[in-house]
Structure 1
């Protein structure tokens, strides 16, 4: 079996994932089981759209449970240090080469969405290229559409 890769999560992201897992394995799982039982009671399963929809929902839910469990099992909690160096959990403001507008991102996993910043994952071409850099530096990321050149404007903990 392949070795699992460590996933860097902020404490906030870890708590969000744990809460989602508890909900999926508790009340939501019970609701799906009840929906399947209710649909099954309607008779012939071969043409029972309600039953098939509930089973599909159960499959999606159990897939998400497995995904979250794997993430939590391989998680390393990181606390962003206020040292000006880009790492997971940091808010990064960048400006693309030739542009006057800036963009601000939280460097983290999509599970951290819901805050005031868009998410830039550390495994994306730009996110990976930014790791370890500081304000004032120019970074070049190799993306599928070509090279992205950005200037790091500001870096601070979330």
Structure 2
């Protein structure tokens, strides 16, 4: 069974951009490794060890990101008024007077500091497929709480 990673078109583009950046940096990393190797004894050559490790990290990241794109399922937001991937939502937590703005994204794109919540997080699961005006209960590890969906765009 193949597991597809749901993501927004923006998340897919971000991964493509990172791959392009890493591929552009790879020849430079290879050159550094070759120069360090030419310095002689490899057993005591910290420049060689460091360059080899950094190139390995770069190659590993490229493989990882490549798999993310290979198994990506791009979800485009529908204009149906319901919370879904790619939608922007305004939420009001029951114990707070302020509202919070979030974009619902795929797991790999989630970044709470930038207002991006994963659709499969406890909050994301509770609000998915709901319309503005709905109050939902979120079951989170730290306890349950209520959230009202103010708007969905």
TM-score, normalising length from structure 1? 0.82
Measured after TM superposition, the shift of residue 80 of structure 1 is 0.7
Q: Return the alpha-carbon distance in structure 2 between the equivalents of residues 20 and 58 of structure 1.
A: 16
Instruction: Give the Cα–Cα distance (whole angstroms) in 2 for the partners of residues 98 and 71 of structure 1.
Output: 38
Change (3 A) 1:141 1:56: farther
**1:92-146 residue CA offsets vs partner (Å, 9 max, x unmatched):** 1111111011111111145487xxx521111222112221111111122222212
Instruction: Give the helix-richer structure, 1 or 2.
Output: 2
What number of residue pairs does the alignment pair up?
Answer: 150
CA RMSD, aligned part only?
2.0
CA shift in 2, pair 1:66/1:78, >3 Å = same
Alpha-carbon spacing, 1:51–1:129, altered in 2? closer, same or farther (3 Å):
farther
Question: Which 5+ residue runs of structure 2 have no aligned equivalent?
Answer: none
TM-score (norm 2): 0.85
Mapped contact 1:92–1:105 kept (Cα < 8 A): yes
Q: Which one of 29, 33, 51 corresponds to residue 30 of structure 2?
A: 33
1:146 aligns with 2:143: yes
